[in-house]
């Protein structure tokens, strides 16, 4: 019998939770705020779904109802992606070592 | 681009996201980590365009929307003051949540675009995944909006509680699950809309009973939710990058919530059910007796610190409110010129979000190797001459170690009272968030400096 692809996806999901668990515990507490802003940015990879939704119709019916939700989601996710990565960058640039 | 090839690229972008988080294990590698994250995002977006393969008018419109959103995001990122970081993060969470809801709606309205079947006959598993994604996304959205309003001060930080609140939440939670069950049976779109609307309501109800100082837990929790919402959508779209990211972000937020709860010695449920000290607050303020307090001014403080050999600074939320971090750094510079050894002690729940104080100190050019966590520095208080407490309160209260009756008993606190003298900058003797009196105010070795944190620190700089 063939294995349902869903089982593969749930395997990836569960293994990623374990990866996340160990990776996040190794994050130094002083960088917890950048951690939150960068997780914000990367979870906006949901934009992938938004793009698929937006481009679902053919060119002469771009703005049908489901695509509109896609376009709105693109704006929201894009704000997050640019805002999240840039503000993280800005914060990380401030962390400096003692001048010797 | 073939489906297998694009799936491989999505996997690569998922791995780059893991490396982005891995980079945060130290400030030196963190900037590189951020670039990994950006690379992962670029790959994911580019692959999506290539997989669709439609570079007509629609593509251009998508790019326009992408740039509009991107410029708004970039504008915010460059303009936002560091003290407003907690509300920014809450705001960003709400956007992830809403984006998840929108994608789920789009998938429900046009399932054929995502290979999920046709309207009225969507695959069972996809239907469960998208309704869960939509529900969690909606809770994240409305919950984050409430957190944002509370952090921004537009809404009072006081907990809003009413009778039967928790039973109502439980009922609505069960209702959502029942509706998902019926949605799978009937495929009726009205049920889908009902799930989304009820979930928005649950998000609001979940966050209103939680008070301002518990926001570190709330923000971390919403961070976690936004991850689970993304994962739910990832399953719907059968997209590896989204599944990996959702799992990473979900566990990240969960760990941060755990760390924050431990920093307050409270269980997660205790925080979520809300209203800490809301009832005790009244009782303690009436029974408060007048105890003698030693009152000092900036010259006294400057004299004490100048003649000290080591000083530990304990910042808290009050420092963020007063924007005193720059003045504080100037004070420390002046002290260092006098040969005083200065370090900073950060409690895990100081401020309104995890790592809040560290960012503010970094902004004021404080080197990160002078800043220490609770466990690293707590033993040093007994060898230090002066502890300068600026804007912190409950996290220094020795009652947490001595009085089992106290609501904060057992909470890890900074052993500030062990230093030879304590300078406590505060506007008044009012109790902190937990609603209890701080024993430290009345100790013999405590000198109270009644003033705004920034003004007092600036005056001390002058007299140094």
State the pTM of this model. 0.90
Contact in structure between B33 and B22 (CB atoms under 8 Å): yes
Do residues B344 and B332 make contact, with C-beta atoms less than 8 angstroms apart?
Answer: no
For A92, nearest residue in chain B (alpha carbons): B31
> How close does chain B come to A100, measured CA to CA in Å?
11
8 Å CB contact of A41 and B88: no
Residue to mutate among A13, A15, A20, with most B CBs inside 10 A, is A20
Q: Which of A70, A33, A5 has its CA nearest to residue B84?
A: A33
**Residuewise pLDDT in 10s, chain B (464 residues):** 788 899 999 999 999 999 999 999 999 999 999 999 999 999 999 999 998 887 888 889 899 999 999 999 999 999 999 888 999 999 999 999 999 999 999 999 988 888 888 888 888 888 999 999 999 999 999 999 999 998 888 888 777 877 788 888 889 999 999 999 999 888 888 999 999 999 999 999 988 888 777 888 889 999 999 999 999 999 988 899 999 999 999 999 999 999 988 888 888 777 776 654 444 443 344 444 567 788 888 888 888 898 889 999 999 888 988 889 999 999 999 999 888 999 999 998 888 888 899 999 999 999 998 999 998 999 999 999 999 999 888 888 888 888 887 778 888 899 988 999 899 888 877 777 667 778 888 888 888 888 888 888 998 888 88
Query: Is pLDDT at A60 greater than 80 in this prediction?
Result: no
> How far is residue B417's CA from residue B309's CA, in Å, rounded to a whole number?
17
Residue B196 to residues A64, B130, B200, B290, B438: CA-CA distances in angstroms?
Answer: 21, 11, 6, 54, 45
Q: Cβ distance B282 to A57 under 8 Å?
A: no
Does ipTM top 0.90? yes
Q: Do A48 and B73 touch (CB under 8 A)?
A: no
Pairing of β B121-122 and β B386-390: unpaired
Q: Which residues pair with B194 in a beta bridge?
A: none
Partners of A89 on chain B (C-beta within 8 Å) are 31, 34
Residue B144 forms contact with A (CB below 8 Å): no
Of all residues in chain B, the one with the smallest CA distance to A88 is: B34
Residue B41 has what pLDDT? 95
What per-residue confidence (pLDDT) applies to A32? 92
How close, in Å, is residue A94 to chain B by CA atoms?
5
The yes-or-no answer on residue B437 being catalytic is no
CA distance A41 to B226: 11
Whole-number pLDDT of residue B287:
43
The Cα B107–Cα B100 span in angstroms is 11
- For chain A, positions 47-86, list CB contacts with chain B under 8 A: 47-57, 59, 62, 64-67, 69-86
pLDDT one-digit tens code per residue, A66-98: 889 999 999 999 999 999 999 999 999 999 887
Cβ contacts of B27 on chain A, cutoff 8 Å: 28, 30-31, 92, 95, 97
Cα distance between residue A91 and residue B242, in whole Å: 25
Instruction: Name the residue in chain A with its Cα closest to that of B238.
Output: A9
> Distance between CA atoms of B188 and B192, rounded to whole angstroms?
7
B238 touches chain A (CB under 8 A): yes
CB contact under 8 A, A94 and B359: yes
Q: Quick one: tokens of B459?
A: 């005056």
A 11-50 → B contacts, CB under 8 A: 12-14, 16-17, 19-21, 23-50
Q: Which of B51, B92, B221 is the best residue to mutate to test the A interface, defined by the most A CB atoms within 10 Å of its own CB?
A: B92
Residue B279: the pLDDT is 40
B164: left (phi over 0), alpha (psi -120 to 50) or beta: left
The residue-averaged pLDDT of A1-7 equals 84
């Amino acid at each position: 019998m063939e294995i349902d692809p869903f089982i593969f996806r749930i395997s990836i999901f569960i293994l990623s939770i374990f990866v996340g668990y160990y990776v996040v515990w190794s994050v130094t507490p002083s960088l917890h705020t950048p951690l939150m802003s960068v997780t914000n940015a990367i979870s906006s990879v949901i934009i992938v779904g938004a793009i698929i939704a937006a481009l679902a119709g053919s060119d002469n019916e771009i703005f049908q109802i489901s695509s509109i939700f896609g376009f709105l989601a693109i704006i929201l996710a894009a704000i997050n992606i640019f805002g999240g990565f840039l503000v993280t960058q800005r914060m990380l640039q401030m962390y400096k070592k003692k001048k010797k | 681009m073939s489906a297998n090839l694009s799936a491989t690229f999505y996997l690569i972008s998922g791995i780059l996201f893991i490396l982005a988080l891995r980079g945060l294990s130290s400030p030196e590698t963190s900037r590189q980590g951020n670039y990994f994250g950006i690379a992962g995002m670029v790959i994911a977006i580019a692959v999506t365009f290539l997989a669709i393969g439609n570079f007509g008018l629609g593509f251009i419109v998508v790019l326009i929307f992408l740039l509009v959103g991107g410029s708004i995001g970039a504008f915010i990122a460059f303009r936002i003051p560091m003290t407003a970081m907690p509300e920014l993060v809450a705001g960003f969470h709400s956007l992830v949540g809403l984006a998840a809801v929108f994608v789920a709606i789009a998938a429900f309205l046009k399932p054929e675009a995502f290979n999920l079947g046709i309207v009225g006959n969507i695959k069972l598993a996809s239907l469960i995944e998208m309704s869960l994604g939509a529900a969690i996304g909606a809770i994240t959205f409305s919950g984050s909006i409430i957190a944002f309003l509370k952090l921004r001060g537009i809404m009072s930080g006081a907990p809003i509680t009413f009778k039967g609140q928790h039973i109502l939440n439980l009922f609505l939670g069960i209702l959502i699950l029942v509706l998902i069950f019926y949605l799978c049976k009937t495929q009726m779109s009205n049920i889908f809309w009902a799930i989304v609307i009820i979930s928005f309501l649950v998000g609001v109800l979940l966050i209103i009973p939680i008070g301002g100082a518990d926001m570190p837990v709330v923000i971390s929790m919403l961070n976690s939710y936004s991850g689970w919402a993304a994962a739910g959508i990832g399953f719907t779209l059968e997209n590896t990058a989204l599944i990996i990211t959702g799992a990473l972000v979900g566990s990240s937020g969960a760990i941060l919530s755990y760390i924050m709860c431990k920093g307050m010695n409270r269980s997660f449920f205790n925080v979520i059910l809300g209203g800490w000290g809301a009832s005790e607050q009244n009782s303690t303020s009436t029974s408060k007796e007048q105890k003698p307090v030693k009152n000092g001014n900036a010259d006294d403080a400057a004299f004490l610190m100048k003649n000290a050999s080591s000083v530990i600074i304990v910042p808290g939320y009050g420092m963020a409110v007063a924007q005193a971090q720059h003045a504080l750094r100037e004070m420390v510079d002046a002290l260092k010129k006098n040969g005083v050894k200065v370090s900073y002690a950060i409690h895990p729940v100081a401020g309104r979000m995890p790592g809040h104080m560290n960012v503010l100190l970094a902004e004021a050019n404080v080197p990160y190797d002078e800043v220490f966590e609770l466990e690293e520095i707590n033993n040093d208080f007994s060898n230090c001459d002066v502890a300068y407490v600026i804007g912190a309160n409950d996290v220094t209260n020795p009652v947490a170690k001595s009085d089992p009756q106290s609501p904060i008993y057992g909470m890890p606190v900074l052993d500030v009272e062990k230093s030879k003298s304590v300078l406590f900058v505060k506007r008044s003797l009012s109790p902190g968030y937990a609603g209890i009196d701080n024993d430290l105010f009345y100790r013999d070795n405590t000198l109270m400096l009644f003033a705004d944190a920034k003004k007092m620190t600036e005056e001390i700089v002058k007299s140094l």
